[in-house]
Chains A and B, each alone.
Chain A
Amino acid sequence: MSDAAVSPRRTFALDGLMLRYAVLVGLIVIASVGFSLANSNFYSITNVGILLRSISVLFLVSMGMTFIMLTGGIDLSVGSNVAFSGGVGVVALTTTGSATIGFICALLAGMAIGWVNGVFIGRLRLSAFMVTLATFALARGLALVIYDADSINVDNAAFLWLGGTSWNNLPVVIPFVALMFIALSVLLYRTTFGRNVYAAGSNFNTAFVLGRRPERSVVWIYVLSGALAGLSAIVTVGRVSSGQPWAGLFLEFDAITAVILGGTALSGGRGRLLGTILGVLLYGIIINGLVLTGTNPYLQSLIKGMILLGVVLLDTYTQRGKSV
């Protein structure tokens, strides 16, 4: 009974979502054809690998952001968190020389920031953008302190493996992202925790009355997002063989855009991970194309801002049309 009350209306919602996914796939095809015409190298297997690797971090962070936005929240701190947890991991690695300790420290650091967010947002019921704006500054500041505002080179092969290694043009990180997608899908669709995520986002008070403990789920969701930021940090360090204090700058902005593009409602309770994957692909192809064609970085941020606004407008418009 309680499950029926909180689960999304499958039959109706699925049609809309399928249409949306079909449109997204179509746009992805159009965008890639467009960029391959503009740049003949775009479609080589190597370049597809490079493209997917460059947006692998966005995949990870966006999946965490999907969980958060399903609860109606937002996490502005993920980009800073990538820099902070990367810093903790790299420093742990260089002082102990053990890649395992480096991995664990990066993950724990990411989860710690996520936990702070989660406690303030879930337990104290403060607004998510305000809390994560504070941790956005805090985590970036801590990253600058850890790195002393300078990058640290890393040459530990085990630590760089995830982000840096390729098997015959296939970067290791791509199957890793696919595995994370499957694991997180199972978590979201096949477990009580996943149901609680939808419940907390559909109606927090109802979920509370039903005994689903949304305040507790929210804390864990932010910890999950922090853990994914920690993983992203390891991938980022592996990609460039060094830890950078300004890593992940404005990553949260890209993630939010991609997640909304993938059909997750800003108000929470509606959306799926598959949509986020498609959203990241489309957004990643566009951003990558802008970088490859050497677009002025300021023009890039203008375009990014307009894409976000356009996507939000379109999303609200189509959703309202449906509900009327």
Chain B
Amino acid sequence: MTNTARIFREHNIVFVTIALCIVFYMVSPRFLSVDNMSAISRQIVPIGLIALGQFFVVVSGNIDLSMGMGSVLFAIVLGVFFGLTGGVAVGIVAVIVCSLALGFFNGVLVAKLKLPAFIVTLSTLFMAQGLSGLIIPRGQQIFLIGDFFRFVGAGKFMGLYWSFLFLIALFALAYVVYNHTRWGAYVVAIGNSEENAKLAGINVDRVKIGIFMFSALCSGFAGLVLSSRMGFVQPGLDGNGLLLDGIAAIIIGGTLILGGRGTIGGAFWGLLFIGIINNALNLLNVVDVWHQVFKGAVILAALAINWMLWQSRQADAH
């Protein structure tokens, strides 16, 4: 295999994303306008937070299906505590505490009781959905008004949204943690083989619980960003759509769903890809009902392409 071909294979998502940008630019020149670019940068923040949390979960060989509905629930927790006390800090502390509690709950059930992650998080998905509608009755809203929410939702620094800069910083931090700390190596080790990780003396249970607490914390932040942007909270938001977008981003970014393999950079490009697709579907006036078809098809295609790339890498290695 030639060197160029290998570069193309390993960084395929970069080329695909750039090609997509060019295509969309030719169809609609408005696509590359500064306004639209900054709109995309703001839209991808909640998806990016979900993707980042899910990345560690998936690399460790698990899945967290409760992240989307978790965000909806945590947004409502924020609204309730802010609405009752009027204090932003109280609301944020409540979000952090509740999300860590949910993550701890998921993590203990998966790590200590050895239950399959998708069943545990499927049931917490439903519990989160139920709780979100029980705290605030359907059709009611709590408004989030204040400097802080305006700052998170629309604050800009040198033309870039603060929330986007925050996301970039988080990705950079995650890059360092994933590639240059012991904890990151543990996550990969667990994803490759839990048995071997245990034999190597890694406290597998503790790392797993930590992973689920981190993913739940990310969904808490996603709920915060999402509700700040909208300016209100209400039950019945599309939490599952958010979850699917986040999962799509990391699969497109080349994360192996069986665990043990994936890059933060890939996840970031996958996130840009999903953000661009979402934006273009709106910009090109694609009817709403087609959006979900695209999402499902894109995930399936990414799964198939990842599989073929994996086969080709195996062949290359021999």
Residue of B nearest to A145 (CB): B289
Q: Is the CB of A120 within 8 A of B304?
A: yes
A41 CB within 8 Å of chain B: no
The dominant DSSP class at the A interface is helix
A303 CB within 8 Å of chain B: yes
Please provide the chain B residues from 110 to 146 with a CB less than 8 Å away from any CB of chain A in the complex.
Answer: 113-116, 118-120, 122-127, 129-134, 138
A158–B157 CA distance with the chains assembled, in angstroms: 65
Q: Is the CB of A141 within 8 A of B115?
A: no
Q: Is the CB of B296 within 8 A of A302?
A: no
B247 CB within 8 Å of chain A: yes
A161 CB within 8 Å of chain B: no
Q: Is the CB of B115 within 8 A of A302?
A: no
Please provide the chain B residues from 233 to 262 with a CB less than 8 Å away from any CB of chain A in the complex.
Answer: 235, 244, 247, 251, 257-258
Which residues of chain A have C-beta atoms less than 8 A from B114's C-beta?
316
Please give the distance in Å from B230's CB to the nearest CB on chain A: 20
Q: Is the CB of A134 within 8 A of B296?
A: yes
A136 CB within 8 Å of chain B: yes
Which residues of chain A have C-beta atoms less than 8 A from B113's C-beta?
313, 316
A299–B132 CA distance with the chains assembled, in angstroms: 10
Please provide the chain B residues from 144 to 164 with a CB less than 8 Å away from any CB of chain A in the complex.
Answer: none
Q: Is the CB of A308 within 8 A of B123?
A: yes
Please provide the chain A residues from 230 to 256 with a CB less than 8 Å away from any CB of chain B in the complex.
Answer: 250, 253, 256
- Greatest chain B CB density within 10 A among A133, A137, A144, A256 is at A137
B294 CB within 8 Å of chain A: yes
Surface stretch bound by B, among A5-13, A31-39, A121-129, A183-191: A121-129
A250–B126 CA distance with the chains assembled, in angstroms: 10
Q: Is the CB of A141 within 8 A of B292?
A: yes
Q: Is the CB of B127 within 8 A of A131?
A: no
A18 CB within 8 Å of chain B: no
B34 CB within 8 Å of chain A: no
Say which size band chain A's interface belongs to: 35 or more
Q: Is the CB of B296 within 8 A of A135?
A: yes
B293 CB within 8 Å of chain A: yes
Residue of A nearest to B259 (CB): A127
Which of B116, B124, B251 is in CB contact (< 8 Å) with A305?
Answer: B124
Q: Is the CB of B258 within 8 A of A127?
A: yes
A74 CB within 8 Å of chain B: yes
Q: Is the CB of A309 within 8 A of B303?
A: no
Which residues of chain B have C-beta atoms less than 8 A from A301's C-beta?
126-127, 129-130, 133
A142–B290 CA distance with the chains assembled, in angstroms: 7
Proximity bits, A276-309, B CB within 8 Å = 1, else 0:
0000000000000000000011111111111011
Which residues of chain A have C-beta atoms less than 8 A from B251's C-beta?
130
A297-B133, A308-B119 known; A148-B126 Cβ under 8 A: no
B291 CB within 8 Å of chain A: yes
B295 CB within 8 Å of chain A: yes
Which residues of chain B have C-beta atoms less than 8 A from A256's C-beta?
119, 122
B63 CB within 8 Å of chain A: yes
Q: Is the CB of A126 within 8 A of B307?
A: yes
Proximity bits, B276-293, A CB within 8 Å = 1, else 0:
000000000000111111
Which residues of chain A have C-beta atoms less than 8 A from B123's C-beta?
305-306, 308-309, 312
A–B pairs, 10, beta carbons within 8 Å: A133-B299, A134-B296, A137-B292, A139-B296, A144-B293, A253-B122, A256-B119, A301-B126, A304-B126, A308-B122
Of all A-B residue pairs in the complex, the 5 with the closest CB atoms, nearest first, are A138-B296, A302-B130, A298-B133, A141-B292, A305-B126
